[in-house]
Amino acid sequence: MEHGKALSLAHLWTAFLCFLPAIGLGFWQMLMRSPLPAPVDDPNTYYASVTAHGSIMAYVFPIFFAMGFGYAIAVSALGRPLQGEKLGWVGYALALIGTVMALVPVAAGRASVLYTFYPPLLGSPWYYLGLALVIIGSYCWIALMLVNFRTWKRENPGKPVPLAMFAITACAILWGWTALGAVCEVLFQILPVTFGWSHTIDAGLARTLFSVTLHAIVYFWLIPAYIAYYTLMPQAAGGRLYSDTMGRITFILFLVFSIPVGLHHLFMDPEHGAGFKFVQSVLTFMVALPTLLTVFTITASLEIAGRVRGGKGLFGWIRALPWDEPMVLAVGLSLLLLGPGGFGGLINMSYAMNAMIHNTSWVTAHFHLIFGGAVVIVYFAIAYELWPRLTGRPLVSKRLADIQLWLWFWGILITTVPWHIAGLMGQPRRYAIFDYSDPVAAKTAFLVILSVIGGCIVLSSVLLFFYVLVRSSFAPVAESMPPMRYALSVNPPATVPSLLNGFGLWNVILLALVLIAYGYPIGQFFFLHNQNAPTYSLTREIAK
Amino acid sequence: MSSENGSSRLHNPWGFIVIAVVSATVVVAFGLGFLLLPRYQESRVPFSTKDGVYHALGFHIHGKAFNTIQPPLRVPTYIAWTETTIRQATAGDRKSGEFIATNCTACHGEKGLSTEPWVPSLAGLDPLVLYKQLDDFRSGTRLSGPMSAIAQSLTPQQYADVSAYFASLPGLPENRGERTPRPNSSYRNHDPVQRLIYAGDPKRGIAACASCHGPGGYRIGAPALEKQNELYIEQQLQAFAQGTRVNDMNMPMRTIAGVLTESEIRALARAYANENANGP
């Protein structure tokens, strides 16, 4: 048990220690884009910074977090030591080496290709190899989640797998499938060029392969937060989960529907016809279902807790909830931000409406609202929940933790709402600098400055988060620490249908859907006219 | 509901129901996306079902409708950066290039460093840049005194050789394209020339010079300009602006030079000629 804790803690510390500089870079980027003075003031540095910020926030931070959280769940929810802990450390080492390998060339200005790679843009091979290594490290974790899941099922025949373990396994399987898109792009498209075996890239195929990863990765980020929604929050609120079955269905729907939808990131791309774009647009609507189920179930669970605590009337239960509990507060705030974030997403994935906001700041604002507002705020609460269990030292102050979560909530809101509006006014994304003497850009100046103020609040929230974590790590060891408890549902299931206790059929449906939705869009590149384009190398060495 | 024995799974209808619901969703999506909606994409007569499916798959089905009379084709350059061209242009032999280069010294200087202000220095230029210009002189898409005749007397392999030779000489600072921090290079800079070089001027559709010509930016086929002869840069910008030089594929230089003012052209040429990435 003790060793399992060290493994979890190492992953979580690494995740947050990477998160800290990435937040700092993000804040500087906001300054660069604003009319306010910015240190260094160099567009090339901006793109290097965006690459580092994006690579950390999209890959490194959530991967390390999911790995650490997954190991903690495997030990605490299954109530048995972690199987294959050595492989866990191997995965950790691989991912850590990969992170360093990827970030050094970025810092040297030799891989400013942004985290989405954007071929035929081409950076240093070390960057791509590093990220591939991070993903290989995460595959060790996927293997361990599957092994521990299977072992528990074998040892407890007929019993329902605890919801938290069921969900984190769904998360691992989802990541395993969806990461293959980016892996194929790097292996078969980008690396051959960086090694000089080829000088051209089929940008359309590369973008299509990346889209396989690009949407489902959002659900890979989101599922750990949803696990806290379903299994940690009702417990912290002093109530019960409204429905265990609803949770299982939610995570299964995420697994099945989040991959064959990535083409909605390519609505404005010329390499695909309208037909498959429309089909994937429809399938994307299916991904809204599990989130709607979750909003219903979690609100119901909150109401149960509120009424158990003596809340009366139509809305009285809301006031009766323990809002000073960081987990309850974080989930409440996360649900609030999930609303506008989710509806913004519905606009992005609607084939016709997408044209209005494609390539504008609206999109960047949207994914910052979803990732920061709905996901990371819960990561904080999970950290507050896990740290005492992993270190044996109590949290120094729940009050400071609450203040931190409120700061984050307002910071994200103030950052992203004006950002959305600037996007609607036509502000393009991926721009390092704007000429605010231009009347068109000048109209967005006030909104951008508002965003910077929000960024300031976000930054202060993160500093406070680290203050709480570090102080807690030096607090005296508590004599007894209650173990991690996962919420019971109102009707705890004695058995569940095998369909809701494993992933066999769902993997088959998932693969069938991916084949139907992506078979032709990817397959066409093998028989259509060759569309290779010369690469745009960032440095002359790569071009040679 | 139990999963303990296999036989109950056979009677459990949910697996079947799930597959049926998912399949129905897919069928409806395909029906709408491939059969119904594409038929009414055009405001004129609806497509036939077959044409609708082709349209949905992304094929051109308009046939000859759009093949109206095209203006005569004017090719700005016969060099496209394909696999073959890049291999050919970078496979030069420096030794034989040195021999060919004896023909160049009269104008371009002893070691590729020109002393005539209107003639470009070639030492240290990217071989792809030199290769492209030689081919453009050969094909007549770039005109300049004796260069057409010289280029026509050489083979593509000799272009590559002489390019490799000049690229290997010390001279113009190499544009490595490493994007290391260069403070004060956005619109916040008060010097309008530095702003043009590093940030461009989007109000006039001018991209930053440095994003292709360095320092900091690198683009295949674009020459590094630092320490190049001032008068040469100025005259080339004038030539692009007046349309007497037209060998830039997709017209970036003709577009940009066309909206620069006389004084900006002079200032940019002076700034690049005196710029030195390696120190003052």
| Domain contains B221 | yes
Q: Which residue has the higher pLDDT, B175 or A467?
A: A467
| Domain contains B71 | no
| Domain contains B152 | yes
Residue A38: CATH number of its domain? 1.20.210.10
pLDDT at B26: 94
Residues 221-280 of B with CB under 8 A from A: none
B2 has pLDDT over 50:
no
pLDDT at A72: 96
Residues B204 and B268 in one domain: yes
**Cβ distance of B29 and A505 shorter than 8 Å:** no
User: A322 to each of A238, A318, A326, how far by Cα in Å?
Assistant: 8, 9, 9
For residue A132, report the phi and psi dihedrals to the nearest 5 degrees.
-60, -40
**Cβ distance of B3 and A540 shorter than 8 Å:** no
Q: Cα angle at A366 between A365 and A370, to 5 degrees?
A: 115
Q: In the numeric block, which tokens belong to residue B116?
A: 């005539």
**Cβ distance of A44 and B179 shorter than 8 Å:** yes
Nearest Cβ partner for A540 among B55, B176, B208: B176
List, for residues B39-74, the tens digit of each pLDDT value. Answer: 876 666 777 888 888 888 888 766 554 556 677 788
B250 contact residues in A (CB cutoff 8 A): none
Nearest Cβ partner for B34 among A275, A286, A538: A275
Residues B95 and B50 in one domain: no
| Domain contains B251 | yes
Residue the block writes with tokens 């702003």: B195
B90 touches chain A (CB under 8 A): yes
The minimum CA-CA distance between B146 and chain A, rounded to whole Å, is 30
Domain membership of residue A171 as a residue range: 2-543
B187 touches chain A (CB under 8 A): yes
User: Smallest Cα–Cα separation from A411: which of A458, A357, A469, A375?
Assistant: A458
Nearest Cβ partner for A41 among B32, B53, B184: B184
Q: In terms of DSSP bridges, do strands A121-122 and A536-537 run parallel, antiparallel, or are they unpaired?
A: parallel
Q: What is the mean pLDDT of chain B?
A: 87
Q: Cα(A100)–Cα(A87) distance, rounded to whole angstroms? A: 20
Size of interface A-B (CB pairs under 8 A): 181
A157 contact residues in B (CB cutoff 8 A): 4
When pLDDT is cut at 50, 70 and 90, the band that residue B217 belongs to is confident
A198 contact residues in B (CB cutoff 8 A): 83
Q: In the numeric block, which tokens belong to residue A155?
A: 């040892």
pLDDT at B7: 45
The count of domains in chain A is 1
| Domain contains B234 | yes
Beta bridge partners of A442: none
Q: Cα(A152)–Cα(A161) distance, rounded to whole angstroms? A: 8
How many residues in total does chain B contain?
280
User: Which range among A127-131, B114-118, B211-215 has the greatest average pLDDT?
Assistant: A127-131
Domain membership of residue B112 as a residue range: 83-168
| Domain contains B155 | yes
A44 contact residues in B (CB cutoff 8 A): 179-182, 185, 216-217
pLDDT at B61: 66
**Cβ distance of B181 and A273 shorter than 8 Å:** no
Nearest CA in chain A to B61: A273
Q: In terms of DSSP bridges, do strands A200-201 and A533-534 run parallel, antiparallel, or are they unpaired?
A: antiparallel
When pLDDT is cut at 50, 70 and 90, the band that residue B237 belongs to is very high
How many residues in total does chain A contain?
544
Residues B135 and B201 in one domain: no
Residues B26 and B52 in one domain: yes
User: A57 to each of A212, A217, A274, A335, how far by Cα in Å?
Assistant: 18, 11, 32, 21
Q: In the numeric block, which tokens belong to residue A100?
A: 């360093």
pLDDT at B175: 74
| Domain contains B235 | yes
**Cβ distance of A282 and B25 shorter than 8 Å:** yes
Residue the block writes with tokens 């590729």: B112
Single-letter code of the amino acid located at A370: I
- The burial class, CB within 10 Å (0-12 / 13-18 / 19+), for B95 is exposed
Residues B162 and B213 in one domain: no
Residues B200 and B251 in one domain: yes
pLDDT in tens, chain A (544 residues): 466 899 999 999 999 999 999 999 999 999 999 999 999 999 989 999 999 999 999 999 999 999 999 999 999 999 999 999 999 999 999 999 999 999 999 998 889 999 999 988 899 999 999 999 999 999 999 999 999 999 999 999 989 999 999 999 999 999 999 999 999 999 999 999 888 888 889 999 999 999 999 999 999 999 999 999 999 999 999 999 999 999 999 999 999 999 999 999 999 998 998 999 999 999 999 999 999 999 999 999 999 999 999 999 999 999 999 999 999 999 999 999 999 999 999 999 998 899 999 999 999 999 999 999 999 999 999 999 999 999 999 999 999 999 999 999 999 999 999 999 999 999 999 999 999 999 999 999 999 999 999 999 999 999 999 999 999 999 999 888 888 889 999 988 888 988 999 999 999 999 999 999 999 999 999 887 677 888 888 776 655 5
Residue B92: CATH number of its domain? 1.10.760.10
A278 contact residues in B (CB cutoff 8 A): 29, 32-33, 37, 56
The minimum CA-CA distance between A9 and chain B, rounded to whole Å, is 35
| Domain contains B177 | no
B57 contact residues in A (CB cutoff 8 A): 273, 275-276, 520, 524
